[in-house]
Amino acid sequence: MKRTKIGITCYPTVGGSGVIATELAKLLAERGYEIHFITSSVPFRLKRIYPNIYYHEVEMNHYAVFQYPPYDLALANKMAEVINREQIDILHVHYAMPHAICAILAKQMVEHDVKIVTTLHGTDITVLGVDSSFKNMIRFGIEQSDRVTAVSHSLVEQTKDMLQVNREMDVIYNFVDEREYRQRNEAHLKEEYGIEDDDHVIIHISNFRQVKRVPDVIHSFHQIASHTKAKLLLVGDGPEYSKVCQLVSELGLRDRVLFLGKQENVSELLSISDLKLLLSEKESFGLVLLEAMACGVPCIGTDIGGIPEVIMDEYNGFICPVGDVDTIASRAITLLTNPEKWQMFSENGLKRVRTEFQSETIVKQYEDIYNDLLVQR
């Protein structure tokens, strides 16, 4: 029987959307699909050779005549080339802007009947969607795709409200590979980092963009550390990093905060953590919360976007108002100083990963969409 061929375009560098696109590709490849990545570099989570995963690089030539190198056109051109040569059945793009637009252009350039699936991850809707000069183009990308999925109900509602899109969109939640994200015994790491047995370990992982409100994490930690012995692990890097370093020094927290920068084996760091903080003002899902839950770590998040679809307030963590540092700190202290409650939240999180976000179920939801489209051809 002919193998179904799926083309995938995503941002290949660090970030939740690239992680989801790559993890989905790996699981589809394990199920016998042939996967063709069409990206600017090898996706960072593709760490080894997979016999039925191929990679097609979007190459950019820098001609003096172009003031700005036309990356989007180079991508559309590469997509068309790969669709024709490999006879791609489904082109699954992550982000409407620009990937869905490029896919639509590529589809018009080829004779082969390819279907386009677009997955919305948030930033193009919640950030670019407010810029009226892009609205029409993002709406076009969404409306012209054969199927559209979004990573949370909140993102579907926001897409409808902000872009006046009136089409069916399926919610398919994010997932983690449970073989990687699980409770591990990494006690030696604590010792190596100089974390003492009675230290409560709090972790924040992000790309340090303004929307992540990392200063709120520091201010909350400042209050937490004045009530209980605690250390804060900061994982990731980005535009707000220096500002955060400065704030940590100003608050006299230098010896309590470990700046770990970009890290690959996050599940090991989660396994030595007691609490995950994600205090963003915009977040369509919050994949890092799911990663934490899968490692048995309770979470505190803000009451925006898709976060309340991942954390159930008072069940596997707490939901607090954006910027309400006092409430966040007091909830954190309650949890960290009450071992029974902590244990219950940790177990509830693990249960929730199994029931709502199990990788097998989620991958099947994408497969159902592909199959629906394939029978229409």
Cβ of residue 288: shortest distance to ligand GMT, in angstroms?
A: 7
- For 197, the token pair is 């047995």
Determine if 56 is a binding residue for ligand GMT (CB under 6 A).
no
Determine if 174 is a binding residue for ligand GMT (CB under 6 A).
yes
| Binds ligand GMT (CB under 6 A): choice among 99, 282, 331, 352 | 282
> What is the distance between the alpha carbons of residues 54 and 35, in angstroms, rounded to a whole number?
6
When the beta carbons of 120 and 272 are compared against ligand GMT, the nearer one is 120
CA terminus-to-terminus distance, the chain: 17
| Binds ligand GMT (CB under 6 A): choice among 23, 34, 216, 283 | 283
Lay out the site mask for ligand GMT across 295-314 (x = CB under 6 A, - = otherwise): --------------------
When the beta carbons of 240 and 283 are compared against ligand GMT, the nearer one is 283
| Binds ligand GMT (CB under 6 A): choice among 257, 266, 287, 333 | 287
> What is the distance between the alpha carbons of residues 282 and 129, in angstroms, rounded to a whole number?
13
Cβ of residue 287: shortest distance to ligand GMT, in angstroms?
A: 4
| Binds ligand GMT (CB under 6 A): choice among 6, 8, 20, 97 | 20
Cβ of residue 17: shortest distance to ligand GMT, in angstroms?
A: 3
Determine if 45 is a binding residue for ligand GMT (CB under 6 A).
no
Residue ranges of E strands in the chain: 5-9, 34-39, 53-57, 90-94, 115-120, 147-150, 170-171, 200-205, 230-235, 257-261, 275-278, 299-302, 317-320
- Residue 252: Cβ-neighbour burial (10 angstroms; 0-12, 13-18, 19+): exposed
Determine if 158 is a binding residue for ligand GMT (CB under 6 A).
no
* Beta-sheet strand order (sheet of 230-235): 257-261, 230-235, 200-205, 275-278, 299-302, 317-320
Binders in 73-132 for ligand GMT, by CB under 6 A: 121-123, 126
Helix or strand (DSSP H, E) at 349:
helix 339-356
| Binds ligand GMT (CB under 6 A): choice among 4, 9, 17, 154 | 17
Cβ of residue 252: shortest distance to ligand GMT, in angstroms?
A: 30
Distance, C-alpha 143 to centroid of its chain: 23
Cβ of residue 174: shortest distance to ligand GMT, in angstroms?
A: 5
Give the CA diameter of the chain: 66
Tokens 């890097």 locate to 237
When the beta carbons of 5 and 135 are compared against ligand GMT, the nearer one is 135
- Residue 238: Cβ-neighbour burial (10 angstroms; 0-12, 13-18, 19+): middle
Q: Is the peptide bond before 70 cis (omega within 30 degrees of 0)?
A: no
Determine if 159 is a binding residue for ligand GMT (CB under 6 A).
no
When the beta carbons of 7 and 301 are compared against ligand GMT, the nearer one is 301
| Binds ligand GMT (CB under 6 A): choice among 9, 118, 144, 207 | 207
Determine if 211 is a binding residue for ligand GMT (CB under 6 A).
yes
When the beta carbons of 274 and 283 are compared against ligand GMT, the nearer one is 283
Determine if 213 is a binding residue for ligand GMT (CB under 6 A).
no
Q: Other CB atoms closer than 10 Å to residue 160's CB: what's the count?
A: 14
> What is the distance between the alpha carbons of residues 234 and 225, in angstroms, rounded to a whole number?
15
Determine if 286 is a binding residue for ligand GMT (CB under 6 A).
yes
Radius of gyration of the chain (CA): 21
Handedness of CA 130, 238, 227, 295 (dihedral sign): positive
330: amino acid identity, one letter: S
Residues at the contact surface with ligand GMT, assessed by CB under 6 A: 11, 15-17, 20, 121-123, 126, 151, 174, 207, 209, 211, 282-287
